[in-house]
Structure 1
């Protein structure tokens, strides 16, 4: 890959990134502009919010703020939006929810104010609708009053039917914020046996959504849905994600997992959060929230198309070729699915990162430059590692106690003969161990050479 040029911005970001590394953070915080890095660092220092969770929440918040206002064009006819499905994984008490609330606070404030405004407009609408035609004429109001629309960014526990209806009123997009994301996928198909999971698979790909509502004269038709998802999940229930068809239809491959390896219980301290920190974050997000949107005569949003510079496109192409080379030698279909979905995500990351740099006044937003692609590569490699770790966690949790003991006792690098001996000590016969080893090569183990394996 190309050697990265030295810039003042790069030096600042590298210094900030090194500082983060000493805190045990794995998330590549240097993908963000220095202003956002400072916010992440300050809430860690003062509130003990884990850096990985705060950074991922901020990334998702920026994506939600972009909505359908901007799309990135990879090729003619191939555009991607900033839709992300993110899960913050950790044990109970790992302080996952607070960073998420901090990142989403600008949307909460916006939605609250819009709800107050909607209440006033709806009261006026009810008053006008109760008037006779003559009374409306005398009062100078519309002959046929229009029901007001509530503008919003956030939704929580909601059915696809209800979500489609709200989305139709908010074409720019919505964000599903589920504090316990397990409630999101556990509720799939709770009211029917058909389509909720398929609905979300379509949303991820921004395919048109058609919803036929009961007692409605017309269907809800959303030409380009935009609904990113974020929430928290405990490590011990990760296995629920792989139940049903979710592991075979690619659903789980679409989730970006944030799971720090080191999870220490937060310690209280006497450092106060700077007074301007929250307002600085709100100010940045307000710039996104207040972005002007153009609409056509049918009320459809007309997004701005962000292209890639020639240099950025070449670097992205180079990364994809390297990723494809890795896919060619993978023995695990599970990892293959993850690597393939990340080829979609890296394009979306380019858009989110470019827009975050624009928010902070570091660049324009009409074209993705090579610096944003470099940062997107860093972020993609991070999610590649966390996805592999989550898959291993799921695989291990589905093992018998005997198999778990064998995996735990195996050294990082072992021969077949050594594995047979360790398995025998746990009461597992040679043939059973060899079958277990063969079945899990590519998931729990990687074959280094003939007769030699490494634990993943």
Structure 2
């Protein structure tokens, strides 16, 4: 491929900040400039082309599309491939992902595009089931046909396990309302529900022994979760975190610019998008034909890269417990990223899938860096909105304006509205999640910040 080292155009100038690049690589960097820090180079060329085509002509955010596709690949691969680090450490490819942004930022369209192959196959399964069940005679003594599902939107935990049993390769959970899904986990009875999902993330065997769920057991869970949520909502939920590592297991896609875009007059190129859908279908078809789990190992160079990267996390982790929580989960995600990239890129390049190599590990580390930055962004959202003791802190501004050590939630809400800081529901969220005041009785709060 032509070098751009001596190219004097704007395209050629990209190598000055990004190193020596090909024309195609430089073109990608320039299109992303100021829009996204997602490392598009982790993907094969046809996926990169699709992401940029949808960005330029379809009003799709680069981060949302990229992360959605990455999660779709992970969900498709499922239990067909695992990565064994050593005898006691095995990772499946599951990922928990949340697209974070303002209302109206077109977060749903990238998810729809990324998971089109999955949803089309699900539609086929549904039609086959309806045909079989229509001819089923409950008096025949035959076992009632089961319905195979690749994804679900709002199952109970018990239902999720039983649905997963019908599709051992794995499940994709795509809540229609991610806010409701998270609220259900972290509500008054949320602690136990969170712990159940923590076991699923770990890939640990699940056994529900309650009377109404005697058969709800699963030896090898592999559940990817993906959804979207507004930035202030996820920040409020994060502020309620009970510090059990649940939120540290979530990968956040937070664009550089959280803003609504003007609708463009052009449409995405049909051929580029259809080629993407066709190749994702090919991968899905290949995976559905596998009846076993194939374990891959790291190449020597990939193993060395992984160890060196994880060792870099030791010092910052020892200095800060918050950083430690994030990096400890990302250490494991590095292996999951590498597994997904090795399997998918090898498949699309028609190469044998034998082990996770150096290239996949380098790209996995790029992904780790991207999601690490976004985890820090989310923590800053929480600090800035809910826990900030500086003069800019929203809660502190309202408390100081009230001017009393003890106040009611009604006083807080009214003052926040009067100051133009927050309307009623948002003001109540601020008060509920702040660490600057605590509830002494129903509707009454007390603060120490005025002392």
Which segments of 5 or more consecutive residues in structure 2 lack a partner in the other structure? 1-20, 397-434, 436-451
Counterpart of 1:323 in structure 2 is: 313
Counterpart of 2:259 in structure 1 is: 264
Instruction: Find the partner of 1:95 among 100, 106, 110.
Output: 106
3-state SS of paired residue (1:145): coil
TM-fit CA distance, 1:358 = 1.8
The worse-fitting range, judged by mean Cα deviation, of 170-179 and 205-214 is 205-214
Cα displacement string for residues 89-126 of structure 1 (whole angstroms, at most 9, x for unaligned residues) = 00111111111111111111111111011001111123
User: Normalising by structure 1, what TM-score?
Assistant: 0.77
Q: Is the 8 A contact 1:241 1:252 kept in 2?
A: no
User: Normalising by structure 2, what TM-score?
Assistant: 0.78
Counterpart of 2:229 in structure 1 is: 233
TM-fit CA distance, 1:405 = 5.1
* Closer, same or farther: CA 314–48 of 1 in aligned 2, 3 Å: same
Cα displacement string for residues 341-395 of structure 1 (whole angstroms, at most 9, x for unaligned residues) = 1101001000111122123216432211111111111110011101001011112
Q: How far apart, CA to CA, are the structure 1 residues paired with 2:208 and 2:171? A: 16
Counterpart of 1:282 in structure 2 is: 277
Counterpart of 2:429 in structure 1 is: none
Counterpart of 2:54 in structure 1 is: 43
Instruction: Find the partner of 1:70 among 42, 64, 81.
Output: 81
Cα displacement string for residues 133-192 of structure 1 (whole angstroms, at most 9, x for unaligned residues) = xxxxxxxxxxx4232222221101111011111111111111011243221111127796
Counterpart of 1:450 in structure 2 is: none
Which segments of 5 or more consecutive residues in structure 1 lack a partner in the other structure? 1-9, 132-143, 296-300, 409-439, 441-456
* Closer, same or farther: CA 172–375 of 1 in aligned 2, 3 Å: same
Counterpart of 1:448 in structure 2 is: none
Instruction: Find the partner of 1:338 among 326, 329, 333.
Output: 326
Q: How far apart, CA to CA, are the structure 2 residues paired with 1:17 and 1:251? A: 34
Counterpart of 2:139 in structure 1 is: 130
TM-fit CA distance, 1:46 = 1.5
* Closer, same or farther: CA 12–167 of 1 in aligned 2, 3 Å: farther
3-state SS of paired residue (1:368): coil
Q: Find out whether 1:175 has 2:172 as its counterpart.
A: yes
TM-fit CA distance, 1:243 = 4.8
Cα displacement string for residues 415-441 of structure 1 (whole angstroms, at most 9, x for unaligned residues) = xxxxxxxxxxxxxxxxxxxxxxxxx9x
TM-fit CA distance, 1:279 = 2.5
3-state SS of paired residue (1:188): helix
Counterpart of 2:65 in structure 1 is: 54
Instruction: Find the partner of 1:254 among 249, 252, 272.
Output: 249
Counterpart of 1:110 in structure 2 is: 121
Q: How far apart, CA to CA, are the structure 2 residues paired with 1:389 and 1:263? A: 12
RMSD: 2.6
* Mapping of residues 56-455 of structure 1, within 5 Å: 56-126=67-137, 129-131=138-140, 144-188=141-185, 195-212=192-209, 218-244=214-240, 246-291=241-286, 302-328=292-318, 330=319, 332-361=320-349, 363-399=351-387, 403-404=391-392
* Closer, same or farther: CA 114–192 of 1 in aligned 2, 3 Å: same
Q: Is the 8 A contact 2:102 2:259 kept in 1?
A: no
3-state SS of paired residue (2:136): helix
Q: How many residues align?
A: 377
TM-fit CA distance, 1:210 = 1.3
TM-fit CA distance, 1:17 = 3.7
Counterpart of 2:35 in structure 1 is: 24
* Closer, same or farther: CA 292–272 of 1 in aligned 2, 3 Å: closer
3-state SS of paired residue (1:195): helix
TM-fit CA distance, 1:264 = 3.3
Q: Is the 8 A contact 1:33 1:362 kept in 2?
A: no
Cα displacement string for residues 275-308 of structure 1 (whole angstroms, at most 9, x for unaligned residues) = 223332222222222235688xxxxx63101111
